[in-house]
Structure formats: structure tokens, C-alpha cells
Structure 1
Amino acid sequence: MPIKKILIANRGEIAVRIINTCRQLNILTVAVFSDADRHAKHVMMADEQCHLGSTDLADSYLNVDKIVQAAIDHQVDAVHPGYGFLSERPALAKALDKANIIFIGAPVEALELMGSKSAAKQTMLLADVPCVPGYQEDDQTPDVLADAARAIGFPVLIKAVAGGGGKGMKIVHQATDFASQLKSAQREAQNAFGDDQVILEKYITRPKHIEVQVFADQHGHVVHLFERDCSTQRRYQKVIEEAPAAGLSDATRTDMLNAAVKATQAINYVGAGTVEFIMDGDDSFYFMEMNTRLQVEHRVTEMITGVDLVAWQIAVAQGDPLPKKQTEIHDRGHAIQVRLYAEDPDNNYLPSTGLLEQVKLMQLEHSLVDSGVRASDSVTIHYDPMIAKLVVWAKNRNKCISKMLQVLDQSAVFGVKTNLAFLSRLLSTREFRKHQIYTNTLDNDELILAQEITPEVVAIYVHHLLHLNQTGEVWKQASGWHVQGTEPLLLELRFKGETLAYQISWEEGQYLINGTDHYWPQKEDICHIHRHQVQVIHQHLRYEFSLPDHEAKAVTSSANAILAPMPGKIIEVKVNPGDEVVTGQSLVVMEAMKMELELKAERDAVIKDIAYSENDQVRADDILVELE
């Protein structure tokens, strides 16, 4: 029977992506959501909605009982788990089967088998699939593991049997460190997965991460949809993915694709899956693991094959044969995907939470944006801080890189820190262009990233913006414009945490900053503006700075009050009625969006009244402090 209604047991961009395919297939959708996602994009898009519970994952997206009950209550035919969360949990598949609801995912047996790295590796060895030399036995005695490590030869990789995402994974370079690293890996594995069992593998020092998209139906047919290169990683998390993999010989590619199909057949698989290989410098490749679900990076495969993998998942789940035979699946061109995160690359890539004040994600021909957020949404501490996946296709890899740089340059996000600038700098490196990025390249700080221009150069752009009063969302400079008049402009610029003062003038055909000749902006340069925040892109490098918020100052001064900029809680009140305060003095500290905000005096004044106390909840625009 055809599937007519699907519950999506996930959130964010993958939920949006599944809904879009369901709309094309005239399939109704049910979105589940937590308290934090009540007004989320995927919830608004779905035909029906179901509230699961609080922001606690165990009470919402990881609660099997609630999701199955929601599926029953909404009378769906099937549940799509997306990726992450419960997508590879046998418990959900079993519970849905018991409720006579289709699970759009792998069979329970495959989930259980591939969920154990030791069992998966033993199965692949029996199927004659190349595997990294190592130890995957049940005896976990420290002395036995230490002997096995010496037999393998250092460096050795310790991996949690039930692991993923780099948890419970340690690289040991010498025998004297093995005991301590083993304890650390086991401790991490126990905390993350409730299982401290590990396997050992020979560590490949210059590894490439190549994976093959496979698909199987209920009639015994198995195909591959070519490979992807996911070597550009940081801390075992993928940053950029592309298809096909560059630099593979035809013989290696053929052997790898055949090995992936053989691995899929060995476990009687059904549905979408990914067989992941690690490749060393001499083109030898080894089975690493199999992801029994759709991958975040599946879009690059779709771009080079013209296949909708979610539509294939639905077709296979309802018992249809694969839509295409292997001989009918072809690849063309090249595709690249980048993951746009709310994070601060200048501060150890810490997630950046807060309000997305403006989100502009550029789409060109043969490109797409997968995003689960919109402007005015918030990035919270509760979930992954990915804002979007940006994907482009072109006829070859070089054109694809150029096109992605163009997309990044013309995209802008305001309100939170992002890795937009980092992505552009990474794509521009010689190592990326020569496909010489390995899985440990970023962690080892081996890349020479392009150098930024000086803040004095940025100051020139600020001058342009102020002088020409450009206020559009995106502005691209025209040639031949410059300062008019002879009076110099005095400019104070906040740049990367510093306040810098400049005197800018135009004399005899050149810009002078504090009397010194400086850079002339190029026609290709781009500037994004949002309120008093500015982002300048020069040669694919992004510079972020803020202008003084004169409007906010004027409102504050004329109103004789300090207002709450958004809903939150008062953490500390630093003044009392009658106190004399000076410009810039901190008056109130409040918590909003999981961040602490200091509200300061914008002028010299006397405190007239304080409306709230510590721990009070306030609404946006509430008057917190009145000034004489």
C-alpha cells in the first residue's frame, strides 16, 4: 500500500528537507516538536503538528514511546527518522513494527549489527571487505589490549565499540601512553554510550575519508550512487563534503564502489546507507563503518546523480523496487556542500547562541540551501548550532569551488557569530584546491589561511558607507566613487573587540588614513549591512565590524531610561536610586538567550528609579532603570 502520511521524528533542516519531498509526492506530514521548537520552521511547514515535551531530549526527540504514540494518534503510515537522534536506534524500529507502522530506515538486524563497531568489522572481514588491521575481540583485559596494540604497531587508534562523533576515540603514538589513553577512551565511551568496550586499529597518519552512497530494496537489489569525499573535518565533525572524490584513480574508485556494494549485500540491507572507508597515501582503502541512515551530506550525491534520495527511501519503504538499475545511474559534474554553523572560529569554535537578526543565504543556478531556521529564530544551547547547508553544482571541481565562494560572499548572517569567513578562507587554500586535505589537517593547524587586510582598510569601507548612506541589505560598490569635499572624516570603529580612531580624507586621488596612503576598494568587493553592523568581503575574506548605534543612543537618552532589549532575567543590579553614573558605566546585567548582557549608561546621569530586582523576569522593552 502506498504511504500517504509520514511523521518526521526529527527537527531542523532535515525535517524541512523531508517535508519538501513529501509535498512533491502529495504525502501529508506530521511534525513533532519540543518546547524550544514550538514556532520552528519545520513545525510551520508540516500539515499536522504534535508537541512532544520539554527541551530535554529524553522528553522529546529521543523519547521512543512519545514518538510512537504520536504516530498512532495521527494515524500515519510511516515514520521518517531523518539523521541523528533515533535514526539508528533499533528500539524505534521495533516499536513501530509492533504498532504496524513503517519505519523508513534500515532493518532492525542491520541497525543492531552496524551499531557495534566490533561486530561490523568482523562481518566485513568475513565478507572479504578490506578492513584496517586491528583488534576487535571481546576480551577487554587491559594487558590483552596493550599486547594487541604492540602487535598492531604504533600509532594506534582506540575506538569505542558503540561510538560515534569522535567520542571514546583516542590516538596513541607510543606504548607508554597506552594505559592512560585506554582509560580515558573507556571513560568517555561509558559516559556517552553506556558501554566502555573498545576496538583497536592501526592509525593511518594521512587519512582520507571517502564514503559510498548505497541503496537496497526489499527485492534483493543493491546499487551504489558513487562516492563522496568527507576528509575536510574538524574534531571528527565534517565541515565540507564533495562528490565525486577528487584524485581517485579509476581502478581505486571501481574497487571501492564494488566493496561498498559487497558490504551492503553481506548484511541483507534495505534502504539508504553509507559505507565509509579510510584511505591511506598509497590508495589502499579500508572499511571504517556503515551509517544505516541518510547522511547530512546526501545532497552532493543528489546533485551529481539527479536522484531524490528521500523519495527513494519512501519508495523502498513501501515495498517498491529501486527506481533505477545500476547501469541507469550516472554521475556528472561536481558538487560541494559546506555546513554553515553558528560558532566563533576565533574563539575555539564555541557555539554562538542568540537571535538570528538577519539571514540572507544566496542561491544561484544549480545551487540549493537546506535550512531549518529563519530570521527572528534563535540559536539555542539545546540543539546542534547548524544554520544551513549550502550546496552548489558545476561542470568541474574548480568551477564548483569558485561558485561556492560566490555563494558564501553573497550570504550574510547577523545576530550570531558564524563560520562563513572560515569556510571561504578554507576553500581558498592551495591544499583544498589540490585536494590535499586529510581528516587531521585542520586539527593539526597545517593550513596557511589567507591573511586579513588591516582594520585601516576596513575603515575606508566604513567611510564609504557613512558618506553614501547605503542602507540596502546587500550593497556592491560601483567604481569611481570616493570622498567628496575636503573636510576629513573622524571615525571611531569597533573592530574585533577594539575601539580604533581614524581620520579619513581624500587628497589628490588617494585615500589618506591619519595622513598615510591606504588601500583602494575593488569593484568586486561586497558589503552586507544590517542596522549598525557591517560585513565586508574582499578577495573572499570577510571582515565584521560595528558602527556606533546612534539611534539606540538617541532613544535611550531622550527616554531617560534603560530598556530591556529582549526578554530575559535580571542577574545583577549594580546601582541604587540617587547614584551618580557616567557614560559607559554598567548599570544592570541581564541574561537573555543564554547570554549575559551588560546594559550601560549612555550619558552622565543620576539614577531616579530601579524597576526590577535580581532574578526578576522581564519582557522586551520593559523599563529597567529611570534616569533623572
Structure 2
Amino acid sequence: MTDAKERLPGRSRPTLLVANRGEIAARIIRSARSEGYRTVAIYSEPDHDALHTRLADVAVAIGGRSPRESYLDIDKILAAARRCGATAVHPGYGFLSENPAFARACEESSLVFVGPTAASIEAMANKRRAKALVSEAGVPCIPGYTPEGAGTDDDTLVRAADEIGYPVMIKAADGGGGRGMRLVQSADELAAQLLSARSEARGAFGSDEIILEKALVNARHVEVQIFADSHGNVIHLGERDCSIQRRHQKIIEECPSPAVDADLRRRMGAAAIAAARACDYRGAGTVEFLLQANGEFYFLEMNTRLQVEHPVTEMVTGLDLVAWQLAVSRGERLPLSQDEVRLCGHAIEVRLYAEDPDNQFLPQTGQILHWQAPAGDGIRCDHAITHRGTVSPFYDPMLGKLISSGRDREQARLRLQQALSGLEFIGPKNNAYFLSRLVADPVFAAGDATTGFLDSEGLYLLHSATQESQPELQHAAIATVLMHNCGLAPADLRSDRADWRNSNHSTPFYYRLQRDNIVFECQLRPLPHRTYLVESTGEAFQLALIHAGKDRAVLSVDGVEQAVIFHHRAPTLFTLLEGRQMGWRDCTHAPASTGNDPGDGVLRSPMDGTVTALCVKPGQPVRSGETLAVVEAMKMEHPLKADCDGTVGELGAAAGDQVRGGQLLVRIEPAVTPSSSGVSTATP
């Protein structure tokens, strides 16, 4: 990486500034360099050592920490472009990619904007206007209510919802990415959900304009990749199925859709092309539809940018969509006609998130302690993960994307399952194990998943995972053996004195290992030749430590050899077994109580973030389940509720404050009620 001030502008070689970060910035830089471009990365303060800054020819600091202070600051980005002699700007996805003001500012600064015109972005930026435009072009739209002006007040929306019929979907007219969206099952919920959706939309998009649509339950979310040049050519590159979502955000995408045959693909492709022509489109775009079981489909929205899930289209078509974007931006014609497009095989993508599936998918932050990208036949991993890098609270929690391809869907699925089970990531909690369970689920394996899949199967997948006592106890036994040996040098591990702390094999060691809020009482009894008998919660395992290196070990568990990746940072030992990460805190000599039991009235921030609302004040009475505060982190709002009845005592933050994970926000003095013996007691 070379600092920008050491390089002279004005070269004949085209220079591309990537106005983004993370995996998409790294992915664009790789393709641009292969196309002969000089590349420029920009970075905020938290991204000083990020991977995309190392891959680019030039990296420029734009300062700031939050998106608004950095990657959303148009003036800073244009100044960086001038400083480096950039001739073009690629916006990636998210941030300013669908901001018409940014596209227009680039054009006014004589920079080629690698994307559609500002007018095209503007035409599709608002869901109300977009639906009206594509409807005129003959594209079927979901029934609903798309008001403007006086028709946007809540009373009018309530009446409109009654006419549409429940369930209805609330959508932020200027939104995307699942923000400002709420599924409403009945009239009783509508007022509260409107308030919540408007608040989130206003904070995310600067507009609280709302539209209503009939909720199509158990439909499929199918999108069509389109491409257009400046010579009037528009084609589609097939469809992607993005039905598996949580919080209206996609987590698994595949190409082609298992529900789309050749005739349906032709009809959906024609509708997508009609939508693109309606807004005089140019470049890469995606037209999204809801597909019902009877083959009817309805327009959702058009994304005027490259999609997160574009790699599955690339794997099936063999095309580089970023290279196509650059060619179109240079004024070239599309390299293929519609008849020349071929879809070969199948590809599936999963999005890796730093989040805790066991705790409402809350975003996670922290340092990456171990990482090795998966590899193998048909495996691709788009990421910007670096060893000892940090997942910050300022940006989206997506770590990267794992993509598999195969001659058919089943081969691609099995390859993806294998790659997930061998994923080497230790750091913040993540969704890798949850994804592996999704990919192995019989409904997904059969290709039958719809948008309602996680609503019906997600809780089962989570609960069944947490109730798998045998694997968890086995993990605890492995962690106990590793903890017992973690202070030893490699030479000691290879000797017969791996039990160096006690040469008497008959005397057991007692360990208390805490995982989240569960404490495992483990008894370890050393046997000869680095063999141990470990008992935990009534289960006994015989383990042999075959080999232990710096960050991985091979153990025999009841005669079955297993490879374990681990990282020890006192007092926590992280283990990774078949893609499932667990963190074990050695609390052998700590008090038995965790000190923060549910129902104690102590409300802490679940992650680093910003307090967007504090709904109570000292002395105010509250009831269990009442929302006391809202914390925003990684583009999502998280309401925090009282866990007991009582009176607000201490406040640890104010609205607008940046807070750390675990920081006290509200302390409730639990209500006091008379006990059966006549003595007053605090009741959580």
C-alpha cells in the first residue's frame, strides 16, 4: 500500500476509486486490477489496517468512525478522488451506492460513476414511485396502498390496511436491507408497528414515508440479474432464489432457483427487462419479485447496484460482473446477447455474520483470533477478514460470503456443508454453525424453503442446537483437557508427563468452565500416556491427547479422533469443532454465582452501539416486558425490555450516548411484595 501523497495524479492509466469497504471493496479491487485499472481505497479510522487498504495501489484516509463521518461523506470521497487523480468511482453496495446525489456529484466532478445514471437511481429509489413506473410498463405489482401527501397519516394507513386485509407488510418507501419493514398480523399491532417502522426509517434513510402491501406469506423471494449498456441493449443473466431471510435480510442465496423452470425464467426475465427499460437503466441491476406457488410473481423493488449475492450468478454463468460494469461504464456494448447467456450447474451462497443466533441474532464485536479461508473444489470465499483484525460496532456485521458451486444443486449443497464444517474462524460469535444446520435441513435440501422458512423452522433449529447436550458436554470435556494442558510447551505435550501437575494418576482435578451463562462442573482424572477420563453432568468421556500444536489439537474421544482448533486468551479458551465455536471461561476459582441472573433488574447494553432512545427516568415505575431503551448497532435497532416489575433507580447512559457491550443502562429496584410468611421480599 502506498500513501496517496507519494503518487502523482494525471496518469493515462485509468484510476478507479472504490467508495466502500470490507469484502465488496476487496472484490472490486481484484477485478479492477485484472482489468488494468490503478485502484484507490478509502478508509475510516477503524479501517486503518483493513484488507481492502492493503490490496489497493493507493489508500487514502478519510477520517471519522461512524458511516456518516466517513463512507457516507460525499465531500470527503470526492476530495480523495481529486487527490489521487481518480477517473472513475465504483460505489459497491450499501453506503452511497443508491444515492442519486452521489452519482450526480461524481458526474459533476468529471468522474465516471460505475453504475446507472442519477435519474435512474432516483426513479427506483422510492418504492411508491418505482411501483407506479413499472406498473405502467406492464410489470405485475403486489396489491397495497402507496399514498402520497395527505394520505400518509396513520389514521388513513389504518383504514387502508383494513381494506387490504391482514397480514400486511409495512415498508419504508425510501428503505432497503430490511430496515423500516414490519409484518403486521392484526389491526391491534398496526399502530405500534407503524411508530416503530417510521422511527427506524427516519433514522436510517432520513424519511419516514411508509407504504403498505399485502403480505404474501410463504412465497419465494426470487430476483433477476439484469445488465444494460448505453446502446439500448438490456439482457438478464438468470435468477437467484433469496427466500431464506431473517429480519427481512437475506442469509442464503442460490442460482438458479429450484422453483423456476425455463418458461417461468423467460417470463420473469422479460418483466425484469421491462422494469429496467422503464427507468432507462445502465449497468448491473437486480429486479426483485415475490413468487407464489401457482407461478404468479409480483414486483418488489429494483436494486440499482451490484448485489451482495452476485457471486452465485458469476459461478453459474462464468462471467465477471464487475468487469462487465467497468466495460459498460467505458461506453462499451454488452459482450453477450440474451441468446448467448448460459446457466451451467448450481451455486449457493451463505452470508457469514458476526452475530449471536442464540440471542436474537444480536450483532457481535471483537478481535479475530484465528482465521483461515476455506478452500476446495467449487468453493469461493469473498471476505475482508484479517488475522488480529477487529469487528467494529460501526458497520454492518457481515464478515463475508461463502459460495459453493457444483454440477447440480445437491453437489453444491454438500460442498457448502463441508466448507462450513471446516470453517476456521475464532473471534466474535457468529452464525456459521446456524448456517450449517440450515444447509443440512431437509426442507432446504429438498429446495422447498420459502420466505416463511425461518419463522417455522428457525426456532426449532436454534432450540435443537442448544439442547444437544451430548455434543456440548463432549465440547466441555475437550475444553477441560486443553485447559489442563494449555500452559505446557510442545515438548512436554509429547512426553508421558502431560499430566505434569500431578504424577499421581488416581487423583482427579476439578474444573468449572463457564460457557455463556452455563457452568459445567468437570472432573478430570489423568490416566497413563496422555489419556484422561473426564466426567461432566453425569456423562463420562475417555480422551487421549494425540497431538497439540500452537492453535490446533487432535484428540481421541471415546476412540474417535477429532481435530480441534483452539485459541487461549486467559481466562477464556476458545474451541472450534466441526465449524462450531465455543468460548470456555475458567471459573474454577471464581464464586459460583454469575452475578447477573435474569430478573435482577439490571439492564445492560448487549453490544457496542448508540443509545437512540431512553424511555424512562429515575423513580418511574415499570412493568416486566416494558421497553426501557433502544440501542442501535450495525444498522439495526434493538429494544431492551425490563425483566422485572419495579422502579427505575439508576441510569447509566443518556439518549445519543455511545455505549460499550455490557455497560449498565438502567437499574430497576424490584417491586417489594409480602411473602407467604408475612415478611416483605423483593420479587423479580
TM-score, with structure 2 as normaliser? 0.73
Any idea what SS the aligned residue of 2:575 has? strand
Return the match for 1:236 from 248, 256, 266: 248
**In 1, distance between residues paired with 2:373 and 2:489?**
15
Any idea what SS the aligned residue of 2:122 has? helix
* Residue in structure 2 matched with residue 461 of structure 1 by the alignment: 478
Return the match for 1:501 from 519, 522, 532: 522
Return the match for 1:375 from 387, 391, 399: 387
Any idea what SS the aligned residue of 1:299 has? helix
* Residue in structure 1 matched with residue 368 of structure 2 by the alignment: 356
Contact map agreement 1:463 1:504 (CA 8 A) in 2: no
**In 1, distance between residues paired with 2:50 and 2:449?**
36
Percentage identity across paired residues of the two chains? 40
Amino acid at match of 2:268: M
Relative to structure 1, the CA distance from residue 177 to residue 344 in structure 2 (aligned partners, 3 Å threshold; closer, same or farther) is closer
Return the match for 1:158 from 146, 170, 176: 170
Residue pairs, 1:136-215, within 5 angstroms: 136-138=146-148, 139-215=151-227
> What's the offset of the Cα at 1:495?
4.7
**In 1, distance between residues paired with 2:143 and 2:39?**
45
Contact map agreement 1:493 1:546 (CA 8 A) in 2: no
Amino acid at match of 2:575: Q
* Residue in structure 2 matched with residue 544 of structure 1 by the alignment: 582
State the Cα RMSD in Å.
3.2
* Residue in structure 1 matched with residue 235 of structure 2 by the alignment: 223
Contact map agreement 2:477 2:534 (CA 8 A) in 1: no
Contact map agreement 1:458 1:536 (CA 8 A) in 2: no
1:104-145 deviation digits (Å, cap 9, x = unpaired): 011111100100101100011111111111122323244443
**In 1, distance between residues paired with 2:534 and 2:270?**
64
Amino acid at match of 1:500: E
> What's the offset of the Cα at 1:308?
0.4
Any idea what SS the aligned residue of 1:147 has? helix
Any idea what SS the aligned residue of 1:182 has? helix
* Residue in structure 2 matched with residue 527 of structure 1 by the alignment: 564
> What's the offset of the Cα at 1:322?
0.7
Matched, 1:4 2:20: no
> What's the offset of the Cα at 1:521?
5.2
Relative to structure 1, the CA distance from residue 521 to residue 394 in structure 2 (aligned partners, 3 Å threshold; closer, same or farther) is farther
Relative to structure 1, the CA distance from residue 90 to residue 466 in structure 2 (aligned partners, 3 Å threshold; closer, same or farther) is closer
Contact map agreement 2:17 2:39 (CA 8 A) in 1: yes
Any idea what SS the aligned residue of 2:239 has? strand
**In 1, distance between residues paired with 2:392 and 2:195?**
33
**In 1, distance between residues paired with 2:38 and 2:437?**
42
Any idea what SS the aligned residue of 1:448 has? helix
> What's the offset of the Cα at 1:404?
1.0
Return the match for 1:492 from 511, 535, 538: 511
**In 1, distance between residues paired with 2:28 and 2:487?**
39
**In 2, distance between residues paired with 1:50 and 1:308?**
27
> What's the offset of the Cα at 1:35?
1.4
**In 2, distance between residues paired with 1:495 and 1:458?**
12
Contact map agreement 2:486 2:568 (CA 8 A) in 1: no
* Residue in structure 2 matched with residue 616 of structure 1 by the alignment: none
Matched, 1:297 2:309: yes
Any idea what SS the aligned residue of 1:268 has? coil
Matched, 1:321 2:333: yes
Contact map agreement 1:160 1:196 (CA 8 A) in 2: yes
> What's the offset of the Cα at 1:68?
1.4
Amino acid at match of 1:46: A
Contact map agreement 1:431 1:447 (CA 8 A) in 2: no
> What's the offset of the Cα at 1:56?
3.0
**In 2, distance between residues paired with 1:510 and 1:22?**
55
Contact map agreement 1:230 1:238 (CA 8 A) in 2: yes
Any idea what SS the aligned residue of 1:97 has? helix
**In 2, distance between residues paired with 1:487 and 1:389?**
49
Contact map agreement 1:472 1:529 (CA 8 A) in 2: no
Any idea what SS the aligned residue of 2:454 has? coil
TM-score, with structure 1 as normaliser? 0.79
Matched, 1:35 2:7: no
Relative to structure 1, the CA distance from residue 147 to residue 86 in structure 2 (aligned partners, 3 Å threshold; closer, same or farther) is same
* Residue in structure 2 matched with residue 255 of structure 1 by the alignment: 267
Relative to structure 1, the CA distance from residue 534 to residue 472 in structure 2 (aligned partners, 3 Å threshold; closer, same or farther) is farther
**In 1, distance between residues paired with 2:195 and 2:187?**
14
Contact map agreement 1:381 1:594 (CA 8 A) in 2: no
1:479-511 deviation digits (Å, cap 9, x = unpaired): xxxxxx97576452525231422245789x997
> What's the offset of the Cα at 1:513?
3.5
* Residue in structure 2 matched with residue 572 of structure 1 by the alignment: none
1:578-624 deviation digits (Å, cap 9, x = unpaired): xxxxxxxxxxxxxx995579xxxxxxxxxxxxxxxxxxxxxxxxxxx
Contact map agreement 2:476 2:513 (CA 8 A) in 1: no
Any idea what SS the aligned residue of 1:120 has? helix
Aligned residues: 543
* Residue in structure 2 matched with residue 396 of structure 1 by the alignment: 408
Return the match for 1:409 from 395, 406, 421: 421
